[in-house]
């Protein structure tokens, strides 16, 4: 078997359709029925036709396969693979991707994290949440939950019990272009869609520019008042 040079995944995503490539990376998702996802230091990609049992997240893989483009998603279809003798590694999700989420050349197949206010969500016939839209600073991100994706801790899709419009949520998933041309964050586990509670100090209402944090000036004033009271008590004890 001929040895192919290893291609960086970021380069693979803009490679030649139908060409044979070799990549190395670590598994970032193994819960989808159609593909698993692999990522190296340059980016992520979907892996198709992986006939064996999908390895755990963090497992190192070297894969030779044929590159195909499906709805602007780069998919490497496996011809052969091996497990390099190296330790496991879990990639952290990429953050702050709202402005570039729709560009598959930048983020297609990447493990990402988005956070924003829920402006809408959609359920299927069974009542399970399949899509929610998050907004942050006028930008939007669609979060998609495939059939078969569940909470690893509960064994079912529990998002209908938690998701509400107007609340801030954070979601981790893989960037995927759908048939309608919309890029979504494809959730690998419902436990990775979480409510982010608003933090407010009782003496200070939410600030328009940052509703999750109280006013630092208010905190400074309270600290000053408490310190003055403490010093007054110390002076009285010395006089007595």
User: 100-114 pLDDT, tens per residue?
Assistant: 887 777 889 999 999
Alpha-carbon gap, residue 61 to 150, rounded angstroms? 25
Q: What is the pLDDT of residue 175?
A: 95
Lowest mean pLDDT among 7-11, 50-54, 149-153, 236-240: 236-240
Q: What is the DSSP letter of 14?
A: T
According to the model, what pLDDT value does residue 238 have? Answer: 53
The top-scoring range by mean pLDDT among 134-148, 196-210, 218-232 is: 134-148
d(CA 88, CA 5) in angstroms, rounded, equals 22
Q: Report the first-to-last Cα separation within the chain, whole angstroms.
A: 92
**Which of helix, strand or coil describes residue 196?**
coil
Residue-level pLDDT at 121: 97
pLDDT at site 202? 52
Mean pLDDT of the chain: 86
128 neighbors 145 (Cβ within 8 angstroms): yes
The pTM score is 0.80
Tens of pLDDT, residues 165-216: 999 999 999 999 988 888 899 999 999 999 999 876 554 555 544 444 444 5
Q: Using CB atoms within 10 Å of the CB of residue 48, give its burial: 0 to 12 exposed, 13 to 18 middle, 19+ buried.
A: middle
Instruction: Output the CA angle 22-28-34, nearest 5 degrees.
Output: 80
Instruction: Check residue 41 and report its DSSP letter.
Output: S
Lowest mean pLDDT among 60-69, 120-129, 192-201: 192-201
The yes-or-no verdict on residue 221 having pLDDT over 60 is no
Task: Say if residues 143 and 127 touch (Cβ distance below 8 Å).
Answer: no
């Amino acid at each position: 078997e001929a040895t192919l040079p290893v291609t960086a995944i970021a380069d693979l995503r803009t490679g030649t359709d139908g060409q044979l490539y070799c990549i190395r990376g670590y598994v970032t998702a193994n819960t989808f029925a159609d593909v698993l996802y692999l990522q190296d230091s340059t980016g992520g990609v979907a892996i198709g036709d992986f006939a064996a049992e999908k390895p755990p997240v963090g497992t190192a893989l070297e894969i030779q396969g044929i590159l195909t483009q499906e709805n602007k998603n780069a998919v490497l279809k496996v011809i052969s693979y091996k497990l390099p003798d190296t330790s496991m590694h879990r990639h952290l999700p990429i953050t702050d991707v709202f402005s570039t989420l729709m560009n598959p050349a930048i983020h297609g197949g990447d493990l990402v994290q988005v956070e924003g206010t829920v402006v809408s969500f959609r359920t299927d016939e069974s009542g399970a949440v399949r899509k929610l839209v998050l907004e942050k600073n006028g930008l939007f991100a669609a979060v998609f939950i495939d059939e078969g994706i569940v909470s690893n801790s509960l064994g079912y899709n529990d998002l209908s019990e938690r998701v509400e419009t107007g609340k801030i949520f954070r979601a981790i998933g893989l960037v995927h272009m759908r048939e309608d041309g919309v890029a979504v964050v494809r959730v690998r586990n419902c436990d990775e869609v979480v409510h982010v509670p608003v933090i407010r100090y009782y003496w200070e209402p939410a600030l328009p520019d940052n509703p999750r944090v109280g006013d630092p000036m208010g905190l400074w004033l309270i600290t000053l008042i408490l310190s003055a009271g403490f010093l007054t008590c110390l002076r009285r004890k010395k006089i007595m």
